[in-house]
Amino acid sequence: MSKEITPVKRDNLPYRDCVGCVVFNKNGEVLVCKRKSGKQITGGHVWQFPQGGIDGGEQPFDAAIRELYEETSIKSVSLITAASNWIFYDLPEQAIGIALKGKYRGQRQKWFAFIFEGDESEINVTNPAEGKHEAEFLDWRWEKLKKTPKLIVPFKREAYQQIVFAFEHIVKQQKQKSIKIKKLNSKHLAMWVELRSAFFTEKSHKTLKNEAIAMLENKKARAFGLFKGKTLVAFAEVKKCRINGVKTALLAGIYISQGYRQWGLDKKLLNAVEKWAKEHSLNEINASININEKRSISNYKSLGFSETERVVFFRKTIK
């Protein structure tokens, strides 16, 4: 006669104290690692962040640094921030009394965000810590932070959504750092005209190119570009003029490529325009927008512009 097994009650078990590490690269992507035994246990959700338990008497930050090295061999990191609260997850009912050595109902985790400052050759998950620790992972890759909840096992998904919420601001910060601002010149003409054609859609390619060349030759005008690597992703055009007798910087427009419009790049461009205006003893920046472009009007107001007047243009066709 077999002995009846008494099920372990969830409420009788504590949470295990752990740490987790979200490692960002300079492009705002995060390190995820592929578990060795993940396919059999998780139904294909095999990717996760490095994490591990806190040893007795160990501080969470020290545990995070130790676990990161023991699982990935990474040492070249600097702390960006830590999540303000502990993040919890519960094991599914069928895993209670089995997973986590049967001692815990789940984990409470202190999460840290780091910036990776080394060469990728430093990352070694198959022979971590110079072989001093058994490998938990088969592979690693860089991934978008917002996609990580879909990679983790379903019962940890809510915890990963909290991690995304805690650190999503870092993505924008890292992306902004990877962007460089430059004065546009003739070497950038082809890329610049390409972006101008997406902004000034009613003009021909020839007109757009001629305008850009004229701007380069005009000492009272300036065009600024934002580059990701060698690729131009945004520009701003400005020139000195008089409006109602006042010397001002007239902003012809700011254009940002699709895919880069949530990075706060318009502020970077406007800062460059303001600096240029101050260097030319100009105390104002002016801009004009079509009255129907409500989104653009809202964007300009968010950048600190205030509306001055609205003008109605009339036309009468002569037959």
Give Cα 255 to chain centroid, integer Å. 20
pLDDT, average across residues 205-210:
96
Per-residue CA distances from 281 to 130, 205, 223, 242, 269 (Å): 60, 34, 18, 13, 19
Same domain, 25 and 163: yes
Residue whose token pair is 């003739």: 186
Question: Which of 133 and 96 is assigned the larger pLDDT?
Answer: 133
Question: Each residue of 227-270: pLDDT tens digit?
Answer: 988 999 999 999 998 888 888 999 988 999 988 887 788 888 99
313 domain residue, yes or no: no
pLDDT at 12: 76
**Among 176, 204, 221, which residue terminates a domain?**
176
311 domain residue, yes or no: no
pLDDT, average across residues 107-136:
95
Length in residues, the chain: 319
With 70 as the cut, is the pLDDT of residue 316 above it? no
Same domain, 167 and 27: yes
Residue whose token pair is 């859609």: 201
Structural domains counted in the chain: 2
Token readout for 155 is 């019962």
Question: Each residue of 84-107: pLDDT tens digit?
Answer: 999 999 998 887 877 787 788 899
Range(s) of the domain holding residue 190: 179-302
Same domain, 137 and 26: yes
Pick from 160, 123, 170: nearest CA to 47: 160
Same domain, 166 and 95: yes
Counting beta carbons within 10 angstroms of the beta carbon of residue 67, is it exposed (0 to 12), middle (13 to 18) or buried (19 or more)?
buried
Same domain, 155 and 273: no
Helices 189-199, 205-217: axis angle to 10 degrees equals: 120
Same domain, 151 and 196: no
Query: Cβ neighbours of residue 12 under 8 Å, at least 6 residues apart?
Result: none
pLDDT at 111: 98
2 domain residue, yes or no: no
Same domain, 21 and 165: yes
CATH assignment at residue 236:
3.40.630.30
pTM (2 d.p.): 0.66
Whole-angstrom Cα distance, residue 150 to residue 152? 6
Specify which residues 236 forms β-bridges with: 224, 254
Look at 35-44, 120-129, 176-185 and tell me which has the smallest mean pLDDT: 35-44
